[in-house]
Structure 1
Amino acid sequence: MEAYHMWPFGFGFFGFSMVFWWVLWIIVAYLVYQDAEKRGMNGLLWFILVLIPMAGIIFLLVYLAIRDQHRAEEKGERSKALEILKERYAKGEITKEEFERMKSELEE
């Protein structure tokens, strides 16, 4: 009678690889969550969408495309704000110190 060798914790090789891929995918979903929250997007929604079996890969690709578009919009908003700040300084509405402080805040 042959002994069936099992991986630790009763998993066979297939079970172990399934657990490995799920843990890896949860880590990817968490990184998407953090990135989305940092960009002012709904992190929990993207976390859940990326975790959906099979469709998660599609949602991950969609997120990466939207994320780049969101970054471009942020840069556009910052450049508009900087232009307004320069106009206010040119009109004499704010002092040089206020201008420098506000400019540094916008660049953060």
Structure 2
Amino acid sequence: MNGFGMTPFGFGFFGFGMLFWWILWVVIAYLVYQDAEKRGMNGLLWFILVLIPMVGIIALIIYLIVRETQPQAKEEKKSSLEILKERYAKGEISHEEYERMKKELEE
């Protein structure tokens, strides 16, 4: 290092070391994005907050504290016939109603 803050790999603040830390931080922000999306939170918001210089560390800590404990399972869409079977099993409709509705749905 000479007297002007230069290293053999470039300028001190903008050298390979700083590039490494930026890439690492972008990877961390992307992982936060993916985790937030799995948990039903706004992933893009958390990605941006974690990327903001000087605020990113605080945002990362806040995210780790407030995130949902369990990922939300994506709700599967049920077919009309499955819903009809569930209603019949719960006793919400009679056997005659079940058969009539089943026949209508199968048409």
TM-score class, shorter-chain normalisation, is: 0.5 to 0.7
Residue 64 of structure 1 pairs with residue 64 of structure 2: yes
Deviations 1:10-67 (A, max 9, x none): x356411110100000000000000000001000000000000011000000000011
Pairwise CA RMSD: 3.2
- Separation (CA, whole Å) in 2 of partners of 1:46 and 1:33: 6
5+ residue gaps in structure 2?
A: 1-5, 73-89, 93-107
Written as runs of structure 1 = structure 2, the 5 A alignment for 1:14-25 is 14=13, 15-25=15-25
Task: Show the counterpart of 2:47.
Answer: 47
Percent identity, aligned pairs only, is 66
TM (normalized to structure 1)? 0.55
- TM-score for the superposition, normalised by structure 2: 0.56
Which ranges of structure 1 fall in alignment gaps of 5 or more residues?
75-90, 94-108
The runs of 4+ residues in structure 1 deviating greater than 2 Å are 4-7, 11-14
Deviation at 1:5, TM superposition (A): 7.1
Cα distance in 1 for residues equivalent to 2:50 and 2:69: 20
